[in-house]
Amino acid sequence: MKTQNLGRSGLEVPVIAVGCMRINTIDKKEADRFAKTALDLGANFFDNADVYGDGACEEIFSTALTKVRREDVFIQTKCGIRKGFAFDFSKNHILKAVEGSLKRLRTDYIDVLLLHRPDILVEPEEVAAAFGALQASGKVRYFGVSNQNPLQIELLTKYVKQPIVANQLQFSVTHATMVTEGLHVNMLDDGAVDRTGGILDYCRLKDITVQAWSPFQYGFFEGVFLGSPKFPALNAKIDEIAEKYGVSNTAIAIAWILRHPAKIQVVTGTMKPERLKDCVKGSEICLTRDEWYAIYLAAGNILP
């Protein structure tokens, strides 16, 4: 498994992160097998959140790792969403959420804590106080955000002393806003609409690792583009390139994301060991520039 630095944390992490949002959809035996497969592949960075399965996903994940040394895995979780209500980045909520996650995860510390989506009522001074307390107590080592734009991160970092090491953002060839807006600068077409504030280049400038979630989805959980009749040209091109490299279409979809020089970390969502193996194979392939653009255009994206 290839590895890379996670932001400015100093952590050397695998380029494939294992998302655990759906781990509550499989039984314990399957979860144990899946976790073992991930570790055997070198995919020892696991992404969780307190809202996944109302906490059940963190609990199930922890039971699948009972025989694993804590120092042999990286555990990331997220907080800030109050299900059925809204978002809450208050100091009290962050501290309470972390205590709950630590208990469910059966660990004394979390490697990386992300703020889960933006809270429009955020008071960055409270976030700073929470992060400071968590770091001082040893309960959280590093901190990040998800789905935030440059100015939201700038506002946080005005007060937060710890570096923001990661920003988790939706990204795939069918959800490529971050790269499309960079290609269409100063144009008048829809691709020129700045929807992210230049977040991709911002993260590169600030040494913040972009973590790509939903790498196979189109829309907002509308479906998977691989094998979908909605994307015939894209699938034909991916299949053609997959045949050339002797891998699955899953591997090529992963390789497309990893080809970007931003050193993106891909967060998978599968609970199937064989598909996870395909994802890891994708990390071993470096697409040519021509192949990358051919896939991008086959997805319906256009060049100016």
Question: In the numeric block, which tokens belong to residue 167?
Answer: 């920003």
Cβ atoms of 208 and 161 within 8 Å: the answer is no
Write down the catalytic residue from 52, 142, 218, 296: 52
DSSP state of 228: -
Q: What is the pLDDT along the chain (304 residues), one digit of tens a residue?
A: 999 999 999 999 999 999 999 999 999 999 999 999 999 999 999 999 999 999 999 999 999 998 899 999 999 999 999 988 899 999 999 999 999 999 999 999 999 999 999 999 999 999 999 999 999 999 999 999 999 999 999 999 999 999 999 999 999 999 999 999 999 999 999 999 999 999 999 999 999 999 999 999 998 878 999 999 999 999 999 999 999 999 999 999 999 999 999 999 999 999 999 999 999 999 999 999 999 999 999 999 999 9
Side-chain-facing half-sphere of 90: CA atoms under 13 Å = 7
DSSP state of 49: -
The CATH number given to 3-298 is 3.20.20.100
| Amino acid at position 64, single letter | A
Active site residue 218: no
